[in-house]
Structure 1
Amino acid sequence: MQHSPAIHRTIVAVDMADFTNPVRTDQHQLAMRRGLNEALETAFGKIGVRWNSCHHEDRGDGAVVVLPPGFPRVKIFELLPNLLLVALIRHNALHVEAARIRLRMAVHSGEVATDANGLVGTAVNDTFRILDSSQAKTDLRESAGVLGIIVSETIFHDVIEGDPAVEPGTFKQVAVAVKHTRTTAWMRIYGTVADQSRVLPGFQEEAIGQLRELVGELIFPDLPTVLARAVGPGVPPLGRKANAWEMVKYVLDLNANPGGLPKLIAFVELLADHVGGALAAALRSWNNTQAGQLQLTAALDELRTKAQAAVPADNRLHLVIVVEHDLFDDDHCLVSHWRQDDPTEWRPARGESRPAELRDLERVVDDLVVNAEMAWSGLDGDAAVEFVLPRALLNLPVDQWCREVRSGDPSPLVLHYRIVVRSLERMLSRYWHRVWRAKWRVLSGPPPNGRVFVPTPVEADQPHRLAAMLQDREVVSMVLSKPPAANAGPYDELSAAMRAGLPAIVWSRRTGDQSAVVDLVDKLTYDHDLACLPDRVHGARLAALRSDDQQEHADVIQHLVILWDVPVRPVYLDQIPHAARLERDATDEPERAS
């Protein structure tokens, strides 16, 4: 710091009361320091002072700020106290008792110089003497307020006393006897019950108790990820064994997100997205109440809008069926499902899981489809069935399976639903997800939205060369040269495509059909709109059912597989099944939310 001559400046010093109290942990003190720094920078900015134009120094449990020469002192008292008060009450509403702030602020003016060690001048010393007044400390401690403004005799008589708008009658004289200084100052306490009734309330103990009853000891492997998304970067994580209630207590001690939305509300919202069902509805209802009390309904709505904007808005209901191999017997599997009952939202609960033999998969799927139709009986619009399959089952002819197989008059699923497959392998391989999402952004954009890559036999047998070709940002889809093997080999097109993030991968279950599949895909994407590919494949399948075998592409479409992986419509295999979570009958019912 360079030396500067003495200039008449306004000095503001602040100190957090009882900062070193033994009940405060390091995390509590860090939260207090962050809250104070944010409050000061924001408040000064709103009274028209650029933070960088001030000389400011951190004092551990407080700070000193020297305003630019010539700044109107009356603005400090017209605006700054109320701005700081709102910031402090908001901070205290979002933190536990041990991290809450009660602040003293002293204001004085006089000649101030700087040298290599900081501020120099009698006025600076006098400001800190005023700040350390024992009477001022006692008055704040014994009040219900959170902010005490103490001003020098000079400031009171020159600025406050003659300005009715600053309410000079609310200031009272206090004694200052610190070290060799004996003088008087004037103090006003802000944040009393009357003041706080005009600003934002905090989370009530009753509300936190209600939240504890809702989340209980809920725990699942993805819970740390939910917490990390809610609190953002730079916040130390909790251990992976922490349950939801422990995380609630943790985020209570953190500052709000940009826009003032408490991290607790963000965490509860993300938790609701993950658990789904009636528990999700209860969590969102709790959030609605808290946001309303905090006057943050608009911020909560914005959070929900951003989350929903990531979900494809195709006005279609989805039934997602996940098939997992049994760990010890490849002829057995576990079938799980997620049923969407509102086409505008993707937050369904996980339905009851069922073990099955592979030979019975079509029948089990039929049960799920029929139950879904019972739940959808009061709705209209289109529906889709998505199969999330392990690699060994990707060639199952799921598009040729039937509905109502026990009726004696079954009908193909494709008559009623758009059918696609998704990759269980990719869903579980999170180290592939970043590039997958990047490619999806291209594919889901306006046409022309990417292009289809068709590997030559040479490229298909050279994995690194193929991988390099697929790095092209515009390559979002690929036609495989042959059906993928049940197990990935060293030269594997499907693995290369998924590692490169391609959301749309197409092939024939029959060897030798690549050129015919390429021709079909070219005709279906004549306008370069790849986002429409699943719908147009569905249309081609219906056309094939309506016509004889001589129709162009009718034979190809019977063996076509379209892997359509949507990263923004996720399902979570570690999610607690609907029946177990809610302790209710597991039978799907039309009126039950999923």
Structure 2
Amino acid sequence: MAQSTQALDRTIVVVDVEGFTSPDRNPLDRLAVRQGMYEVLKTAFGESGVDFDSCAAEDRGDGALILLPPGTTKSLVVDRLPDRMSVALLRHNHTRTPQAQIRLRVSLNSGEVLNDGNGWVGEAVDTAFRILDAQLAKDAFARSGGMIAFISSKRFFDDVIASDPGLLPELYRPIPVSVKTFTGTAYLRLHGELVEPVPKLRAFEPEPSVGRLPVDSNGDVLDLIPRKDLVDLHRRLTQMDVPHLAVMMSRALGPAIPVPRLDGVTDAWSAFRLLADFNAGPDGIPPSVTFLRLLAEHVGGEVGAMILSWIDGQARSLRIVPALGHQRQSRPPIPENPHLHLLIMLEPVSADPTRCTLAFWRQDDPEVWPPALAGVREIAIDRVEFEVDDVILETEGVWSGQSVSASVEFLLPRALITLPVQRWSKEHGTGRPQPLRYGYRLGIRSLERMRAKHWHREWRVRWDSMAKDPSPDRLHYSGGAESGDHPIDAILSDEHWVGVVLAKPPSPQAEPDAAPDELTSALRSGLPVILWHPDAEPESLRELLDWVLGTKHGLRELPHRRKLANSGAAVPVKKSLAHDLVVIWDDPERVIVLDQPLIPTRP
């Protein structure tokens, strides 16, 4: 790494394995511990919202020095990391011999650091290592049953922890530190009791007399729950229907994990078992437990009370009672009339103009945005409609248990903005494909605007303005006599306008030396509604839009009314005009963060 003369303010985490050189450990044990330490760190950091590979990390043999990426919120390492590291350690230690189990001391600090070409240096780094070696912290940790000792510098405690009651500052106690030339105060928190592995039942052992499970209990959560408790739960959940199955599964998994295919999920027990294979989220609550809570609240009555009682008992064993209480208060209820979105992004491959990248985000929970990235693939451009068909059918496999409306939106760059998605169909494999416009609200979104954060403020202003006043007269018809000689960007800067009808379809790219480009001007001005038609006469197009927008809700009804026109409603012009109407309907509340490259998998 090249030497840097510029000091950088970074959050510093130093990790040390307790008793790494203990004589009870042989070289293979130490190798397993080192590998396990990095697995735990990568998992815990990732589940805390920090990509471990984006951190600056230096191996220290029995530990590591980790600098979080610049700009990372300091409170993340206090808010999420303790629980996520504890859960990851619990899973690691559960399947390891005592000699390969891990206990960690972790110091926290922040401050300016430099890289001298050989490593990271600075007073803040020195302090992090000194407080890690505090003898009082080592002694207290050795006496405790905890898996982690968190030791915060006084500066980090005062600046980050003490001022936020949500970070539980009362769990940290001050300790004096005198190591080498450093003398001062640190703050110690012991976290996560060490749990011995639960022995597996051998095949020849008889089942408990209280009942019999039809399959072996595997998965981290099932291994930690007494078998007799699982037998009772199995009896209650078998053959119990799950309302809003995909929504409940999505709510349980959280926004970072797309819902898997649910073909084999036939009742509440099979849903619970499927979720038991997934790791807990940043709050430390296993998705299977979240699912049971949602199920209990929905079914209510005696059965719901029984499930909640079962959850309370397990929550005490898993030490997640406070997290469950917070979850109950913070998560919104499942809506009665949800609407779902499938967002499909298409982008040309720069090195090969015959191919493009297809990525898609499937919203399984109508109250959660953004959803997790559900897939990325590289495809031939001449196959794009058929690949989109596959994505839609895959999505419908997950949505099959829901009785809700849905939208399919295409996130397109300027180069592909005129793709005739409004004429595409699905179910090509049947030989009788059906137009997408019959089953979904179709829309286009601008990839350029999604990425251009400097356009987002005005975009939100116009969107909020349209919500308050959706009158159709706020739709500007470009190219009309009323435009006169005024440039289009000057006209659209008037906040009266929230939408524009382009005089003609936009070209694949704006001409840099030409007059202001209509599409670019509309995007820069923040207009959330942009319309055009490939071949309609201005009078016919205006007549069509007068009908589409002729409701008391005006522009707010545009997606619904456009689908209505496509589905055979009595419109005053021929149907083909409605079929080919292109609608950019761009909601700034549903933005996808596109600050990392999407790596496709080739078929």
Normalising by structure 1, report the TM-score: 0.50
Q: Give the greater-gyration-radius structure (CA).
A: 1
| Larger RCO (alpha carbons 8 Å, 6+ apart) | 1
